[in-house]
Amino acid sequence: MAFLPFYVPGHKSLEIVIVGGGYAGIAALTTLQRYMPDAKITIVDPRTHHLKITHLQETFRYPLSDLLVPFPQLEQRFGCRHVCAELSLEEATLQQWQNDKCITFVDHALPFDYLLIASGAPARDVIRNTDCILSLNDFMVTAGSELLSQHLVAESGRKDPISIIGGGATGIQFLFEIAYFLQRHKIENKLRLIESGDRVLKQFPEGFAHYTQSRMTDLEIDFYPDTYFRGQQDNVILLEEKNSGKRYELPSSLSISFSGKKIEKQFTANAFGQVIVNHEPLTHVFVAGDCSIYQSFGSNAMTAQSAVRKGKLAARNILRHSGLLKILEPYIHHDIGYVVSLGSTDAVGWLALENNIVTGIAAYVIKEIVEAQYDLLLTGIDTYLI
Ligand SMILES: Cc1cc2nc3c(=O)[nH]c(=O)nc-3n(C[C@H](O)[C@H](O)[C@H](O)COP(=O)(O)OP(=O)(O)OC[C@H]3O[C@@H](n4cnc5c(N)ncnc54)[C@H](O)[C@@H]3O)c2cc1C
């Protein structure tokens, strides 16, 4: 059993329920398993598999099955149990569960010593009045190559452009994969990007947009900044100019929306990861990942890196809280970089400092290393130093 500083185990092994088997949930699982191999851990998740979602745009090149790790495989590898269910998560419910030390739903009762909420943040909904609109959720069940091919076949040869909505990190990663997919398959439909801001990748320094937009020009992708998407009907997209309010239509065979994540289901936690309800921490209920906002100096960015660090920290603090010393560790992690891929050999990112911008193959290699580190964690090998 590995050594965890400030952890002097109590007498019994713990029963821990993790709600959500994404990045934060899996990081917590592997950490708990490392320091308390006989802990009884249950993962509650409506999916049948863990999804390596940071690779989702690559399903224009690889099958979706490459990104799915079935929960039965994780059950075997880490000796945990998976319960397939989607729980309704409200502050009052968490308070009730902590009082009862048990989660009850439909025909299940899951007693626990500690509960970790790691349910992520769902993608924002898009109004679907036609088959000509796709969103991130569609790519979680069908590979990008398949979805696009099906749609283009149904269009029987029409060459109207494909419209991508949202120039954030996810939209840009999909945009470039789609551009290269169309090139590889000699499909003539053009691509356009609709963005409500004045540039792409607004959450990053300007150099990101500069590099990315010049690559978009090379690939002949039309860019519509300061523009709102107002809907798609049949083969027409409705757009609105942000500044003038003027609405206009353009031919469009398909709109694919990447308009960000819903943030209304986030829980506030103290610096140790314990959920705060009515200004008081729930000592036995922790939260991690995109669904959490920690009141600390650490990063609350909705990134896989922060999700993994929060998941690991919450797991360590669960163990310490159960032990004799009860000395918990505050969350101080800051992301050490972020790379946005632009197809299979190009990328733009920052490393160490936000203004230290890395581009091209070097940035792509950094991204591959970060992804490989997470793949190792999934096999039980923890190479994260910080
Ligand atoms: C296409 C794409 C590319 C990305 N690329 C990067 C990247 O390169 N680098 C980076 O740092 N970040 C990236 N991100 C962001 C990163 O994936 C997220 O920040 C990370 O997945 C958050 O981890 P999480 O555990 O909080 O949530 P998730 O990984 O989303 O997992 C949440 C889990 O909870 C389950 N769940 C949800 N609701 C419930 C419920 N009510 N009851 C039970 N279970 C529930 C879900 O089924 C899911 O399995 C990317 C995101 C996307 C969409």
Rounded to the nearest angstrom, the distance between the alpha carbon of 22 and the centre of ligand 1 is 6
Are 55 and 139 members of one domain?
no
Are 277 and 253 members of one domain?
no
Tell me, letter by letter, the H, E, C secondary structure of 126-188: CCCCCCCEEEHHHHCCCCHHHHHHHHHHHCCCCCCCEEEECCCHHHHHHHHHHHHHHHHCCCC
307 touches ligand 1 (CB under 6 Å): yes
Rounded CA gap, 95 and 97, in Å? 6
DSSP 53: G
Q: Which residue has the least CA distance to atom 30 on ligand 1?
A: 120
Rounded to the nearest angstrom, the distance between the alpha carbon of 53 and the centre of ligand 1 is 6
Are 72 and 184 members of one domain?
no
Q: Is this model's pTM higher than 0.85 or not?
A: yes
Task: State the total domains in the chain.
Answer: 3
In a domain, 97, yes or no: yes
Find the domain containing 355 and state its range: 336-386
Rounded to the nearest angstrom, the distance between the alpha carbon of 25 and the centre of ligand 1 is 10
Output the domain CATH number for residue 84. Answer: 3.50.50.60
Are 211 and 253 members of one domain?
yes
Are 192 and 108 members of one domain?
no
259 touches ligand 1 (CB under 6 Å): no
Final residue in a domain of this structure, among 199, 231, 257? 257
Final residue in a domain of this structure, among 313, 334, 355? 334
- What pLDDT, on a 0 to 100 scale, did the predictor assign at position 231? 92
170 touches ligand 1 (CB under 6 Å): yes
Tokens of 82: 């998976």
H or E element at residue 51: strand 49-51
- What pLDDT, on a 0 to 100 scale, did the predictor assign at position 386? 65
Q: Which residue has the least CA distance to atom 31 on ligand 1?
A: 22
Which residues of the chain are under the pLDDT cut of 70?
157, 386
Which ligand 1 atom is the nearest neighbour of the CA of 301? 19
143-197: pLDDT as tens digits: 999 999 998 887 776 789 999 999 999 999 999 999 999 999 999 999 999 999 9
110 touches ligand 1 (CB under 6 Å): no
Are 253 and 283 members of one domain?
no
Are 104 and 176 members of one domain?
no
In a domain, 73, yes or no: yes
Q: What is the largest CA-CA distance in the chain?
A: 69
In a domain, 1, yes or no: no
- What pLDDT, on a 0 to 100 scale, did the predictor assign at position 108? 86
Are 159 and 246 members of one domain?
yes
132 touches ligand 1 (CB under 6 Å): no
Q: Which residue has the least CA distance to atom 7 on ligand 1?
A: 54
Rounded to the nearest angstrom, the distance between the alpha carbon of 346 and the centre of ligand 1 is 24
Are 230 and 138 members of one domain?
yes
Are 272 and 239 members of one domain?
no
CB atoms within 10 A of CB 357: 18
Contact 244, 301 (CB under 8 A): no
Are 344 and 253 members of one domain?
no
In a domain, 298, yes or no: yes
23 touches ligand 1 (CB under 6 Å): yes
In angstroms, the Cα distances linking 348 to 213, 214, 337 are: 11, 12, 11
Rounded to the nearest angstrom, the distance between the alpha carbon of 355 and the centre of ligand 1 is 26
Contact 341, 57 (CB under 8 A): yes
Rounded CA gap, 190 and 177, in Å? 13
In a domain, 6, yes or no: no
Listed residue (6, 32, 58, 42) closest to 343, CA to CA: 58
Q: Which residue has the least CA distance to atom 3 on ligand 1?
A: 54
In a domain, 386, yes or no: yes
300 touches ligand 1 (CB under 6 Å): no
287 touches ligand 1 (CB under 6 Å): no
Rounded to the nearest angstrom, the distance between the alpha carbon of 190 and the centre of ligand 1 is 30
Final residue in a domain of this structure, among 307, 334, 361? 334
In angstroms, the Cα distances linking 60 to 145, 175, 215, 277 are: 4, 11, 19, 43
Strand partners, 337: 351
Are 266 and 117 members of one domain?
yes
In a domain, 4, yes or no: no
∠ CA 340-344-349, rounded to 5°: 20
Rounded CA gap, 260 and 197, in Å? 13
54-73 burial, b at 16+ Cβ within 10 Å, e below that, comes to bbbbbbbbeebeebbbebee
24 touches ligand 1 (CB under 6 Å): yes
Rounded to the nearest angstrom, the distance between the alpha carbon of 337 and the centre of ligand 1 is 18
Work out the mean pLDDT of the chain and round it to a whole number: 94
31 touches ligand 1 (CB under 6 Å): no
227-277: pLDDT as tens digits: 999 999 888 999 999 999 999 999 999 999 998 877 778 999 999 999 999
In a domain, 128, yes or no: no
Rounded to the nearest angstrom, the distance between the alpha carbon of 242 and the centre of ligand 1 is 30
Rounded to the nearest angstrom, the distance between the alpha carbon of 358 and the centre of ligand 1 is 25
Which ligand 1 atom is the nearest neighbour of the CA of 24? 25
